[in-house]
Structure 1
Amino acid sequence: MVNLPDSLYEDYTISRVNLPSALASTVPPSPDIRMIIKWVNDLHNNIPSTFDFALQNLTIHRKNFEILPRLLWKSHFTVAMLLQAPRFVIFTLNFIQFMQEILKIYPLTSRPVYSQNWMHLRVYNILLLFQCITHYPETRNCFLKADMQYYFYPLMDINVTDPRLECLRIGALGVIAHMLRPPVDPAAVCYLVNTSCLQHCTKAIEIGSTESKTIAVFIINKILSTGEGLQYCCVLPDRFFFIDGLLKRLLMYLTTMARPCPSLFNLLVGCYTSLSYKPRARRGLRRYLPDMLFNNTFASLLAADPAAERNRRELIKNLEMKTQPEKNRYIS
């Protein structure tokens, strides 16, 4: 399966948003661990400029310090939790204050943001830090046990196309996408599908930007790449037709683009190929064939992408099969 390039779901939106001067301050080129710890501490500073400066610096350097996710999650001044029962979490006051930056944006997600307080940029940077947390297995598991994904689903469900809100959708999708970066954790897949993650990708596919659509399909692709995810998506007809409908909507979207997105197309072909490993899904695909993959609609994309062409040939091969045992990696 194709891996989504990092640039498609991490920092590319920053280049499209004008940063305020307070956030565009000079950043130390090579901070040490003491500076990272200081910036984490500054996240709880009551001075907005200090908070924003620390937040911006942490997002810029988050890939250079593997300890950062643990600092954000485990240190006493950022987050602590007590799990008393599933979906019942007690947060420290400091963590509540940190999460309030995301909660504050919820009332604004039903309409365009015209304020000049740069709230959307602050929340976007916080989302980048959460992407860092969900990337690492140790903090990812803590994230899932705390049911943290429910904070991000509302941002994925934004029902407007304002660019500033779209960057929040992209950031929230990125939090989920980072959980599924290879090697994909089957436990994370099971947890996401059981909390309706796929349904929360719908708005991105329906009204989101090309970037949002690509990240949403990356999530679907990685879920389908595991036996657990594929079983979930194919065990009931309604689930199969839901996924098939989203994928066909995206194929149609590609035909409207002057320059169709190769990454999006590659992921779509990969999704259909994964579906074709299930006999029940194969029958559905034969009956409701994604015709555009088999005529010359995307000939130029297939010619330029050998991986997509290989997946398409595998799809054709699977659809030509009679009822046969499933491949071992997709055991029911």
Structure 2
Amino acid sequence: MANLPDSLYEDYSTSKLTLPSASSFAPTTTVVPFPDMDTIIQWINDLHNEIPFVSNSALQNLVTHRNTYEILPLLLWKSPCTMAMMLQEIVKIYPHISTPVHSREGKPPRAYNILLLFQCIAHYPETRGYFLKAEMPHYLFPLMDINLTDKPIECLRLGALGVLAHMLKAPIDGAAVRFLMDNGALRYCIKAIEIGSTESKTVSVFILNKILSTNEGLQYCCVLADRFFLIDGLLKNLLVYLSSMTNPSPSLFNLIAGCYAKLSQKPRAREGLWRFPPVMLLNGTFASLFAEDPDAVNYRKQLIRNMQSKVMK
């Protein structure tokens, strides 16, 4: 499994990537170290409090403990009007995300904290079903479609991408993959790959990688030549991006190699890869990364083996 941004995938990685946390922007609040269930429920109720300090403090505490209590996603979902309130926090920033002026006002952090709670709701199997049935990801797509790259705005993009990634956290939910394919989620991932930070690029390619891990997803990405070549072009551009970095991201590199290994499983994709191979993945450009990543080496071997099977035919 590829190493991924730690603030989104606490149990996925062995190496750490530094991502901005909401506490980097939000006012200091008192975090309770070991809350009981009554305290958790009180925090959820306090989300509706009209006093900003009380509401923000409750939100910060819930975010801090979001991975400690498995029941938290269900409590959030079942709590009266809580999901509506959280959605309102996301929707009300839509008019402002087209200008960096909004990011200087300090408003995105609260929405970012909301996105972190959405991530645990999207991951928990029972609430994930509710989340998909309510078509909640549609509210996140505008945050992935932002043309700006300033830090607070980038946090929103990364938080929204993280929600989709948590929907696909192993074991992969076929319903989640179908939802993303049916609703054109890859288009928004492409925007993040093109202009987002290294972390946003990594999470976007993670989402693509998980989609390619299913038969339906692999078919979806390879059935049309234009779609395949779009994905291939993005991955090749990412290889160029990595080659220009002083310290290229091992996580992103691993995911790119994994995507190519999966694409090469499809005969139609092998045709395209044989004619237009990912040269930088096959030559010595990333020798140092391969030396540190046995999984990436296996992906390259699989890619070469599948491409050679095209030649032998």
The TM-score range, normalised by the shorter chain, is: over 0.9
**Mean Cα displacement is larger for which, 206-215 or 101-110?**
101-110
CA distance in 2, matches of 1:48, 1:104: 16
How many Å separate the matches in 2 of 1:77 and 1:145? 17
1:91-106 correspondence runs (5 A)? 95=84, 97-106=85-94
1:246 and 1:222 mapped to 2: Cα distance?
Answer: 16
Number of residues of Structure 1 aligned to a counterpart in Structure 2: 306
1:284 and 2:284 matched: no
2-side partners of 1:180 and 1:243: how far apart? 19
Residue 9 of structure 1 pairs with residue 13 of structure 2: no
Aligned to 2:47: 43
Given the two structures, how large is their TM-score scaled by the length of structure 1? 0.88
Output the CA distance in 2 between the equivalents of 1:114 and 1:198: 27
* Aligned residue number for residue 328 of structure 1: none
1:29 pairs with 29, 33, 36, which one? 33
Query: Superposed, which structure 2 residues align to 1:51-200 within 5 Å?
Result: 51-79=55-83, 95=84, 97-113=85-101, 117-200=105-188
Counterpart among 228, 235, 238 of residue 240 in structure 1: 228
> Per-residue deviation at 1:6?
5.5
CA contact (8 A) 1:10 1:171 kept: no
Structure 1 residues 121-165: Cα deviation after superposition (integer angstroms, max 9, x where no partner): 100000000001001111111111111111001101110111110
Do the aligned partners of 1:4 and 1:218 also contact (CA within 8 Å) in 2? Answer: no
Instruction: Give the percent of matched residue pairs that are identical in Structure 1 and Structure 2.
Output: 58
1:283-322 → structure 2 map (5 Å cutoff): 283-322=271-310
**CA displacement at 1:107 relative to structure 2:** 1.6
* Residue ranges of structure 1 left out of the alignment (5+ in a row): 80-94, 326-332
Tell me by how many angstroms 1:323 deviates.
Answer: 8.4
Q: 1:28 to 1:137 in 2, by over 3 A?
A: same
3-state secondary structure, aligned to 1:9: coil
Q: Specify the alignment match of 2:255 in structure 1.
A: 267
Tell me what 1:83 maps to.
none
Cα shift at 1:116: 5.5
Per-residue deviation, 1:118: 2.6
d(CA) in 2 for partners of 1:148, 1:234: 27
Distance in structure 1 (CA, Å) of the matches to 2:56 and 2:152: 18
SS of 1:322 mapped into structure 2 = helix
Which residue does the alignment assign to 1:227? 215
Whole-angstrom CA distance in 2 between matches of 1:33 and 1:323 = 62
Contact 1:279 1:324 in 2 (8 A): no
The residue type paired with residue 6 of structure 2 is S
Per-residue deviation at 1:73? 0.9
Shift of 1:190: 1.1
Looking at structure 2, the residues matched to 240 and 131 of structure 1 have their Cα atoms a distance apart, in angstroms, of 29
Aligned in 2, Cα 1:20/1:127: closer, same or farther, shift over 3 Å?
closer
Counterparts of 2:187 and 2:154 in 1: how far apart (Å)?
18
Output the TM-score relative to the length of structure 2: 0.93
Is 1:19 the counterpart of 2:25 in the alignment?
yes
Q: 5+ unaligned residues in a row in structure 2: which ranges?
A: 11-17
What is the CA–CA distance in structure 2 between the aligned matches of 1:64 and 1:17, rounded to whole Å?
Answer: 18
Which residue identity does 2:34 align to in structure 1?
S
Q: Secondary structure at the match of 1:28?
A: coil
**CA-atom RMSD, angstroms?**
1.9
Measured in 2, the distance between the counterparts of 1:3 and 1:178 equals: 15
Residue of structure 1 equivalent to 2:14: none
Aligned to 1:89: none
Deviation at 1:5, TM superposition (A): 3.3
Q: Distance in 2 between matches of 1:102 and 1:249?
A: 32
CA distance in 2, matches of 1:252, 1:170: 22
Where relative contact order (Cα < 8 A, 6+ residues apart) is larger, the structure is: 1
CA displacement at 1:20 relative to structure 2 = 3.8
Moved more, 200-209 or 8-17: 8-17
The answer on whether the counterparts of 1:59 and 1:129 sit within 8 Å (CA) in structure 2 is: yes
CA–CA distance in 1 between the matches of 2:122 and 2:223? 28
